[in-house]
Structure 1
Amino acid sequence: MADKCDLCLLGLIVLSSLLTGTSGVTDPHVFISSGENVRLPCNNALSNCESTTWIYNRFRHSAAVELIGLGIKKKDTERHERLSLGSDCSLNIKNVTEDDYGFYTCRQFVNDKQQGTDARVFLPVLHVSVSPSSSSQTEISPGCPVTLSCQLYSRLSCDYLVRTEGLQLLWVNQAGVDLKTDSRYKILFSSYHCNISLTTTLLNEDDNREWRCQLTLRNQLKTSVRYTVKYSGLC
């Protein structure tokens, strides 16, 4: 373990989410935080899942990847170990990452002919990163500077979501008070990256303190990320 401040964080990131859609878009949206498990509904399923195929696209017109073919999970995808098909033909994804955001299409085939129309779901993912950080283990203690960066990965532009859906990204404390009201925290929001960062220098009393990044649309909570300070080592 390095003894420099580029390895001076140890935090417990706990992810929680509410699975609901937006009101102003055509395709259903399921908001989730990275690290969570998610269920994507198939709203055109037939009597059994042997006719069900699930297809993934990062963007609407990007290259398609078949994840489930006629009820059978494909083994040659990098998501293979994290995918499963529900009894209702829903697609289950374990331990969601920011790379999982995109379009998921449920399509039905009988005798090689498509039945009905596609049922599409879009998965936006909220992800938090911490700096300074390392790929394995980090240390944190009083006097260490810390920056928490909370970003929404979505096919819709953040400006659009702010204007039409009232999107808000907020860092709040355990009582739900917006941290931008406290001068010890520097809060910066970028609508271009759909990112809100929190920067502060840690105090003795911050051990076990919780900060939470919240995503709301039209004043309704969609998903949140919780960061709990755990002191260990030196800066």
Structure 2
Amino acid sequence: MSDNNHLCLLGLIFLSSLLTGVSGVDYVHVFISSGEDVRLPCNNALQDCNSTTWSYNNRFRDSAVELIHLGEKNKDIERHERLSLGSDCSLNIRNISTEDYGSYICQQWTGENGKHQKQGPDAGVYLHVLHVSSSHTEISAGLSVTLFCRLYSYPRVSCDDSGRSERIHLFWVNQAGVKLNISDSRYQISSSSDQCIISLNKTLLNEDHNREWRCNVTHRDQVKTSVTYTVNSSARADTTTEPSHTKVAVISVSVAAIAVLLAAVLWLIWRKRADSDRGTGEAVVKDENDDKKTYETINMDTPAAAREHERTDDVTYSEVSSTSKKPVKSLKDHTDTVTYATIR
């Protein structure tokens, strides 16, 4: 009976250590998805945040790093531009990355002349960062793709659905919010509880384009955060890419045929206009030639000298005019000729 009491006591000590942390630090768990902004509460803040100091640590660091010192940011750290102190002394971090997970501790220090003493217990935050990645950068239909969902935590926690106190659990759901069943043959789901990773493998179909897959994390049976991954296929499938090339070829041939047809129509219009202009010119020439008349005049007269010396009463003066309706063939064939003759 005493052994059972000892086991219960050890269980209570273990549960208390998970809830309150170590060294009397009161820890809270904060879950956030990568790329989002987060607020870490400081539960021991005083009225003036000038006494607040924030430090950070994870499993890759040998010692804690001061992020905020007595209300002022430490500008010597790489991510200081993403940090800010809230009016309630909370620590705000923008655009969370997987490198931000870890343990954060808020302390209060008061004093003067450089002598400060810590006030009250420390307030700690375990920041868990959920992140989803893909096995392929370029995704297309017909490709087998694996999505990895991982929870980054420090200290490392176990992600399973066992009866442990924290009960942190990862699982996949479809875009309708229905949990994916491991026994479903359309998916291959595997997990590693120690590393807090759950993977989803699926061969993508055409209808999977723009489909959403979501990874959820629950803490004590409550969903804390989730990451949605949207499938954006660069090419739907081979059956859709091949007709696209054929379609381009058909369009090219159609454009060439239209160009040839248009050229032929323009040539016919030009030919018709040329024939029309030539016919009009010939008609005009014909009409002009039909209207032209040749007048030939023969004037018979007696020179003045002859009239003075050889004037006789039996001299007859005649004037002969001739008119012809025969068209003139050319300008060379037509001359105006006047012949003077004296008839005695």
TM (norm. structure 2) is 0.57
Name the residue aligned to 2:125: 121
Q: Secondary structure at the match of 2:99?
A: helix
- Displacement, 1:199? 0.7
Q: Secondary structure at the match of 1:28?
A: strand
Name the residue aligned to 2:296: none
- Displacement, 1:74? 0.5
Give distance in 2, aligned partners of 1:161 and 1:172. Answer: 16
What amino acid maps onto 1:226 in structure 2?
Answer: T
Runs (5+) with no aligned partner, structure 1: 1-23, 134-138
Give distance in 2, aligned partners of 1:160 and 1:173. Answer: 20
> How much identity, in percent, do the aligned residues show?
61
Give distance in 1, aligned partners of 2:118 and 2:135. Answer: 48
Where is the helix percentage greater, Structure 1 or Structure 2?
Answer: 2
Runs of 4 or more consecutive aligned structure 1 residues displaced over 3 Å after TM superposition:
159-163
- Displacement, 1:210? 0.7
Name the residue aligned to 2:196: 194
- Displacement, 1:160? 7.9
What amino acid maps onto 2:131 in structure 1?
Answer: H
Name the residue aligned to 2:82: 82
Name the residue aligned to 1:173: 174
Q: For the Cα contact (< 8 Å) 1:140–1:234, is it kept in 2?
A: no
Name the residue aligned to 1:56: 56
Name the residue aligned to 1:150: 149
**1:59-70 correspondence to structure 2 within 5 Å:** 59=59, 62-70=62-70
Give 1 or 2 for the bigger CA radius of gyration: 2
- Displacement, 1:221? 0.4
Q: For the Cα contact (< 8 Å) 2:206–2:236, is it kept in 1?
A: no
Q: Secondary structure at the match of 2:89?
A: coil
Give distance in 2, aligned partners of 1:221 and 1:159. Answer: 13
What amino acid maps onto 2:179 in structure 1?
Answer: D
Runs (5+) with no aligned partner, structure 2: 1-17, 21-26, 238-344
Query: Cα gap change, 1:166/1:109 in structure 2, threshold over 3 Å: closer, same or farther?
Result: closer
Give distance in 1, aligned partners of 2:121 and 2:231. Answer: 48
Alignment: residue pair count: 208
Q: Secondary structure at the match of 2:28?
A: coil
- Displacement, 1:222? 1.0
CA RMSD of aligned residues (A): 2.2
Greater relative CO, 1 or 2 (CA 8 Å, sep 6+): 1
Name the residue aligned to 1:5: none
Give distance in 2, aligned partners of 1:96 and 1:77. Answer: 16
Query: Cα gap change, 1:172/1:90 in structure 2, threshold over 3 Å: closer, same or farther?
Result: same
Give distance in 2, aligned partners of 1:229 and 1:159. Answer: 26
Q: Secondary structure at the match of 2:29?
A: coil
Q: Secondary structure at the match of 2:50?
A: helix
